[in-house]
Structure 1
Amino acid sequence: MSPAPGAVAEVTSAERSLRQLELTINRKLDGLIHGDHQSLAVGPGSEGGEGRLYQPGDDVRRIDWNLTARSGAVHVRNTIAERELETWFVIDGSASLDYGTADHEKRDLAASVVGAFGFLVVRAGNRIGAVVYDGQGTRVVPPRAGRSAVLDLVLRLQRRDRTGGEAATLADAMRKVRLLARRRGLVVVVSDLLDTSDWPQELRALSARHDVVVAHLTDPREDELPAVGVLALVDPETGARREVQTSSKRFRERYAAAAAERRAGIDERLRRSRATRLQVSTDRDWLRDVVRHVASRRRRR
């Protein structure tokens, strides 16, 4: 049974946009991230590898006593140097990302940021994995290497696949990554941070072991409202609807004050977590923001 013409056109369009995204990222970011990751262990490494028979001159501290007992002969365990960087994404898939009043929706911004970081880290043979969460649960994408891993992940985000299961929060997704990412590496959190769970505590726990970047997705209308008369607003998370009179200067000032207080709270939580913040907005060139961030990392290192 052949696929419908509309489905073929949709897939072709998606592949074309992904190729364009990859070319744009590689052209503007080429060389910025190369050498950015340093070896996580000095010397022969600390992660267990294959076992072999003991030979005169081997370090007795590397004797694998369990394998020796099972085989009846003395074995040593080789170790693997931890030079491979494993990157995990924590990706917000909640309904609040279906919003954008400028050049993009926040969901499109999330897919682009994931693509940018993904294409950068897989070039050296590194692996990427992800935990995507929304109001229906979490979905784990196991770590894989290669550009196909990035393309598959970005395509899932563009299709807006739902996770299924029980409702999940940003804190739930961070906790899952903390348990899955056993080796030190890079964790990129991509979210608008409009979440009431205790994500700051989980973020601090992640930052204690990993290099964490928080890509904070924003839209200018989340900070201030224009004077356009009666405006109908719908909460994408709950579906609640409310009409407000934006011509009221007092109302706009109260809205801006509440938004400023929320921003200050997020800034303070991120500062305490020691994670690196990358702010991207629907009204700015997201790739330029990523370039600045990557270049800044290079200078600091």
Structure 2
Amino acid sequence: METSEIIKKVRKVEIKTRGLSQNIFAGQYHSAFKGRGMAFSEVREYQYGDDVRDIDWNVTARFHHPYVKVFEEERELTVMLLVDVSGSLDFGTIHQTKRDMVTEIAATLAFSAIQNNDKIGVIFFSDKIEKYILPKKGRKHILYIIRELLDFKPQSRRTDVGMAVSYLTRMMKRRCTAFLLSDFYTRDDFYKEMQIANSKHDMIAIQVYDQRAKMLPDIGLMKVRDAETGHEMIIDTSSAKFRHAHTAYWLEREEDLRRLFAMSNVDWTSIATNEDFAKALMLLFKKRA
């Protein structure tokens, strides 16, 4: 992609997603994602009912009167985006590809993060770690992230979600809020990795899918190609039995995902490429507030 074209696309994504984060998510994001703990604020004189474990013995000894430490919520977060860049994300049939929507969602979350003075970092993954962007603050950093989201070329087209989640657990020493963005077209069972990651971090999963993956249109014979393996085959979409089996398989996969996230205590949402992702994110934020 030409540099001038990239710049135009970055600017277009910035205008849309920054506006969404400012006008829609300003308060919701803050209340949905709390700070990582309690930070020391000041000392004051001991009052009846205070926890004796909060007494500051050094200050107490100096003034010969009990003083306690006062703590407040540590608001600043580190936000990590785990972005699936495998081949299946290039698929799209109605309004946009799954990759386009993932880019817009990631950019919106990034702008929401910096408006709350949070650091934002990214892990691009396929069936291996493709790129790691260190968490930083600022508009310049986010524009760099958007550019990478738009123009990044992965080395592999396959997917391994569990590997990416394990990498996050190893890399991030301090607690962070992590958004996992994927279509979850993966054959691996990543329940154990999600459970471990969510015990250390605050994990949120966002599935992006295309409506045609759920319900096939009746258009007769059609050649389909697996974007990750390259395998091609002819399917007969005029067969009602085949279309029903396809939908049943999709619903079964969705139920497996729902069960996995429920068992690992991870909040998640599922968004089609022809849907308004802002509404889905708002509902997710409200549920967490």
Q: CA shift at 1:174, angstroms?
A: 0.7
1:133 maps to 2:149: no
Cα-to-partner distance string for 1:174-226 (whole Å, 9 max, x where unaligned): 11111111112211000111112232211111111221110011111112211
Please provide the CA RMSD for this pair.
2.7
Describe the SS at the equivalent of 2:28: coil
Cα-to-partner distance string for 1:75-127 (whole Å, 9 max, x where unaligned): xxxxxx85421111111000010111221110011111111111111112211
Cα-to-partner distance string for 1:118-165 (whole Å, 9 max, x where unaligned): 111111221111211124643111111123222211221111332x48
Q: Using structure 1 for the length normalisation, give the TM-score.
A: 0.79
Native 8 Å contact 1:136 1:166 kept in 2: no
When structure 1 is superposed on structure 2, of 10-19 and 92-101 the one drifting more is: 10-19
Match of 1:42 in 2: 38
1:104–1:150 CA distance, 2 compared to 1 (3 A): same
Describe the SS at the equivalent of 2:200: coil
1:234–1:121 CA distance, 2 compared to 1 (3 A): same
The amino acid across from 1:23 in the alignment is G
Describe the SS at the equivalent of 2:227: coil
Match among 112, 122, 130 for residue 104 of structure 2: 112
Describe the SS at the equivalent of 2:260: helix
Aligned positions of 1:53-202 closer than 5 A: 57=58, 82-135=74-127, 137-162=129-154, 164=155, 169-202=160-193
Q: In the comparison of the two structures, how many residue pairs are matched? A: 264
CA distance in 2, matches of 1:114, 1:234: 27
When structure 1 is superposed on structure 2, of 30-39 and 129-138 the one drifting more is: 30-39
Match among 229, 235, 253 for residue 238 of structure 1: 229
Aligned positions of 1:216-231 closer than 5 A: 216-231=207-222
1:166–1:25 CA distance, 2 compared to 1 (3 A): closer
Q: Using structure 2 for the length normalisation, give the TM-score.
A: 0.82
When structure 1 is superposed on structure 2, of 14-23 and 120-129 the one drifting more is: 14-23
CA distance in 2, matches of 1:7, 1:139: 21
1:249 maps to 2:249: no
Match of 1:292 in 2: 283
Native 8 Å contact 1:138 1:173 kept in 2: no
Native 8 Å contact 1:137 1:167 kept in 2: no
The amino acid across from 1:57 in the alignment is N
When structure 1 is superposed on structure 2, of 167-176 and 281-290 the one drifting more is: 167-176
CA distance in 2, matches of 1:166, 1:279: 22
- Percent identity reads 21
Match of 1:16 in 2: 11
Match of 1:75 in 2: none
Native 8 Å contact 1:18 1:151 kept in 2: no
Q: CA shift at 1:58, angstroms?
A: 7.0
CA distance in 1, matches of 2:236, 2:121: 45
Q: CA shift at 1:8, angstroms?
A: 4.7
